Amino acid sequence: MAISSIRHSRRKKATTGMARYPKAELMNTPSEQKTTLVLGLRTSAPVAHFMLVFIFNVHTLCSSAFLGSERLGHDAGPVGHFYDAGPVGHFYDVGPVGHFYDAGPVGHFYDAGPVGHFYDAGPVGHFYDVGPVGHFYDAGPVGHFYDVGPVGHFYDAGPVGHFYVAGPVGHFYDVGPVGHFYDAGPVGHFYDAGPVGHFYDVGPVGHFYDAGPVGHFYDAGPVGHFYDAGPVGHFYDAGPVGHFYVAGPVGHFYDVGPVGHFYVAGPVGHFYDVGPVGHFYVAGPVGHFYVAGPVGHFYDVGPVGHFYDVGPVGHFYDVGPVGHFYDAGPVGHFYDAGPVGHFYDAGPVGHFYDAGPVGHFYDAGPVGHFYDAGPVGHFYYVGPVGHFYYVGPVGHFYDVGPVGHFYDAGPVGHFYDAGPVGHFYDAGPVGHFYDVGPVGHFYDVGPVGHFYDVGPVGHFYDAGPVGHFYDAGPVGHFYDVGPVGHFYDAGPVGHFYDVGPVGHFYDVGPVGHFYDVGPVGHFYDAGPVGHFYDVGPVGHFYDAGPVGHFYDVGPVGHFYDAGPVGHFYDAGPVGHFYDVGPVGHFYDVGPVGHFYDVGPVGHVYDAGPVGHFYDVGPVGHVYDVGPVGHFYDAGPVGHFYDAGPVGHFYDAGPVGHFYDVGPVGHFYDAGPVGHFSRLPQFWLIRQK
C-alpha cells in the first residue's frame, strides 16, 4: 500500500474516532515502513491475515490506552480487556471470557482460562490454576512448571521466562500417547514413565532414572515400578507388590521378598531384578539383557528370579525362589567384595550379611536372625540353631537361636529381637530396631547406614537419630510398610517413595518425607517437619508439615496444599507442584529439581534446578506432550511453538518470544526482554 493511500485512509478514519490524534502521529515511521515491507515480502497471506487480525483485535481493545499516552496505560476495551505494562513490562488481559495474564518482573505468565481462572505470580513467580479439572502447579523461584489439565497444558520455565530451555547440557522429554517421560540430563539420563503414569524425580543432582557416569538405563515397567539412582547411581524398584530396595551410598543390595527382588551392584554397574513377574534389566553399553559396566557385571533373573553378578572379581549371585542373595565367587562360598560393597552367603537357609561400614544389610533367614557387620566389617555366624555375632566395640550383636533372639549392638546402637512371636525392640538413641513377628523383622545398625526389611506382612521401621515414624536422617533411610502400602525414603539426596500398585505418591523435597496410605488406609507421621495422614483407600490425606503440605483426596481427584499457611495451592518458599486433576498424580522434588506428572493423558515435567522442561541441547529443543496438546521448541535462537488442538501457549524465552492467543484470545509475554506493550499503528492500517 502506498504511503499516500495510507495517509488517505487515515484521513477517512477521522470520522470514526481517530480525528483526535495529531496527524503527525498517524504517519508511518521508517521502522514501521520497514516492518510493513518485511511482512509484505516474507509472510504468506493466511499467516499475515491471522497476524493482522490478531493485532487489529488487540489494537481495537487497547487503542484508547496505547494511543493515549507516551507510556502504556490501562484499557478496559469494548469487551472488558485490561492491560498494564507496569514498571518492568507487565501485561494483563481479562479477555472476553476473563483471562488474566501478568509477565511480572522476571517473566511470569498467568492465564485465567475459558472458565475464569485466576493466576498470581507472587514475589517469586508462582502459578495458580483452579480450572475445570483443577490442576495447580507451582515450581517456585528456580524453575516453574504449570499444567492446567490433560488437554491444555501451561509451562513456565523459571525466573527468566523460558518455557522449554535446553540449558548447558540439553534434556529431552516425550510424554507420548501413553505418557512417557525422558530426560537426557547432564550425562545422559533416560526416563520412561510407562503406560500407567509413573513418576520420576531426578533430585538435586539429577537422579531418578539416572545413567550416571557410565550410562545406566532404568525402565519403570508395566506394573508401575519406581527407580531412583541416588547420588552415586543407585537403583530402586518397588516391584509388582510394592517392594522397595535401596542400594546405599556404597552399593549394597537389598531384597524384601520372593516376588520383588532387587539387586544393585554398586556405582560401577548396577543391575536390578524385581522378581519373576516384573523384572528389570539394564543393558549397558552393549544393549544386552545384562550390563557389563566398566568392570563387567552379569545378571540373569532366570525362570524363578535368579540374580547373578560376576562383578570385578568374578562373583556369582543367585537369589533363588525365596529371594535370597548369594555371592559364590570363584569357589562358591562366603565372599566379601571389598571395602565398598560386601556380599555374604551363609548357605542353604539363605542368610545375607553385609559388613560394609556405611551400608549394612541384614537377613533374618527362615527363623528371623539378624546380622550386623558394623563399622569395621566383622561378621560372625555359629550355626543354624544359635548364632552369635560380634561386630566390635561400638556395635555388638547377639543372637540366641531360632525361638527367642536377643541382640545388643553396644552403647551407640542397640538392637533387640524377641523372636517369632512379635515383640518390640528399641535400638537406642541413634538407631532403633523393631520386630513385630516371625515374618517381618526390622533391623537398624545406627546412624551411618540403616537397612530395613519388613518381610511379607509389611512392618514399619524408623531408623533415624530422632526416631520419627518415617525419618530419612543424615545418610538415607529405607522404609517399607508391606505389599499394599510401602513407604520408602532414601535420604536427603535421593528420596524414593512407593505407596503400592494402586496409587503412588512421591516427594523428594528438602525434608524428604513421603506419605502413603495405600488401598487399606495407613497413617504415617513423619515428625515435626512433615506429617502424613491417610484416611482410607478412596480418600487419602497427606500433610507434609509446616514447610510443605500435601493432600490427596483419592485416586481420581487429588488435592494438594503445599505451603505453611495451608492455601488451596501455595508453593511456599521452595516451590512445590500440585496436581488435582482426574488422573491426579502429585510430585514435588524440592527447590532444586522439580518434576511433575499428572497422569497418562497429560504429563508435565520439570527438568531441574535451572527450570528446564524439555531440553535436548543448546541449539535445538523438541518437546511433545502427546496427541492432545503438542509443544515444540526448536532452540534458543529460533523457537517454534504449536498450541495443539486446544490452543496452548508457548514462550521461547528472552531471545525469541512467541505469542498465541488461541481460540479464546490469550495473551502471553515472555519476560523482561520481550514484553508486549503498544502496537504500531501500521498494523491497524495494514489490516484495514
pLDDT in tens, 484-502: 233 333 333 233 333 332 2
Q: How confident is the model at residue 545 (pLDDT cuts 50, 70, 90)?
A: very low
Q: How confident is the model at residue 550 (pLDDT cuts 50, 70, 90)?
A: very low
CA distance 77 to 574: 38
Set of cell numbers at residue 541: 490425606
pLDDT at 337: 32
- As a whole number, mean pLDDT of residues 392-419 equals 34
Phi, psi of 662 (to 5 degrees): 65, -170
Cβ atoms of 430 and 474 closer than 8 Å: no
- As a whole number, mean pLDDT of residues 129-153 equals 32
pLDDT at 527: 30
pLDDT at 358: 29
12-59 tens-digit pLDDT: 433 433 333 333 333 333 333 333 333 333 333 333 333 333 333 333
- Give me the DSSP letters along 128-195: ----SS--EE---TT---EE--TTSEE---STT--SS--TTT---EE-TTTT-----TTTT-----TT
Helix (H, G, I), strand (E, B) or coil at 60: helix
Q: How confident is the model at residue 326 (pLDDT cuts 50, 70, 90)?
A: very low
C-alpha dist (Å) from residue 537 to 54, 262, 360, 378: 50, 27, 34, 45
CA distance 526 to 505: 15
**Long-range CB pairs of 515-518, under 8 A, 24+ apart, other chains included:** 515/470, 515/487, 515/542, 515/543, 515/544, 515/550, 516/481, 516/485, 516/486, 516/487, 516/540, 517/485, 517/541, 517/542, 518/242, 518/481, 518/482, 518/484, 518/485, 518/486
- As a whole number, mean pLDDT of residues 205-231 equals 30
pLDDT at 372: 36
C-alpha dist (Å) from residue 639 to 323, 621, 623: 52, 8, 11
- As a whole number, mean pLDDT of residues 351-355 equals 35
pTM for this model (two decimals): 0.14
Length of the chain: 688
Set of cell numbers at residue 494: 535421593
- As a whole number, mean pLDDT of residues 397-425 equals 35
49-108 tens-digit pLDDT: 333 333 333 333 333 333 333 333 333 333 333 343 333 333 444 333 333 343 333 333
pLDDT at 69: 32
Q: How confident is the model at residue 130 (pLDDT cuts 50, 70, 90)?
A: very low
CA distance 606 to 579: 13
- Give me the DSSP letters along 196-241: TT-----TTTT-SS--GGGT-----TTTT-----TTTT-----TTT
pLDDT at 645: 30
282-314 tens-digit pLDDT: 322 222 233 322 223 333 333 323 333 333 333
CA distance 76 to 17: 17
pLDDT at 633: 37
**Residues 271, 274, 276: CA angle, nearest 5 degrees:** 120
Q: How confident is the model at residue 481 (pLDDT cuts 50, 70, 90)?
A: very low
Q: How confident is the model at residue 433 (pLDDT cuts 50, 70, 90)?
A: very low
Set of cell numbers at residue 542: 497427606
| Beta strand spans in 382-538 (E) | 388-390, 396-398, 506-507, 532-534
CA distance 315 to 341: 12
pLDDT at 260: 30
**% of the chain beyond a pLDDT of 90:** 0
Bridge partners, residue 353, by sequence: 344, 362
Number of H helices, E strands in the chain: 4, 14
In sequence order, the 6+-apart residues with CB closer than 8 A to the CB of 363 are 324, 325, 346, 350, 351, 352, 353, 369, 371, 453
Comparing 150 with 408, the larger pLDDT belongs to 408
Average pLDDT of the chain, as a whole number? 33
pLDDT at 27: 35
pLDDT at 395: 32
- As a whole number, mean pLDDT of residues 465-478 equals 30
CA distance 318 to 429: 36
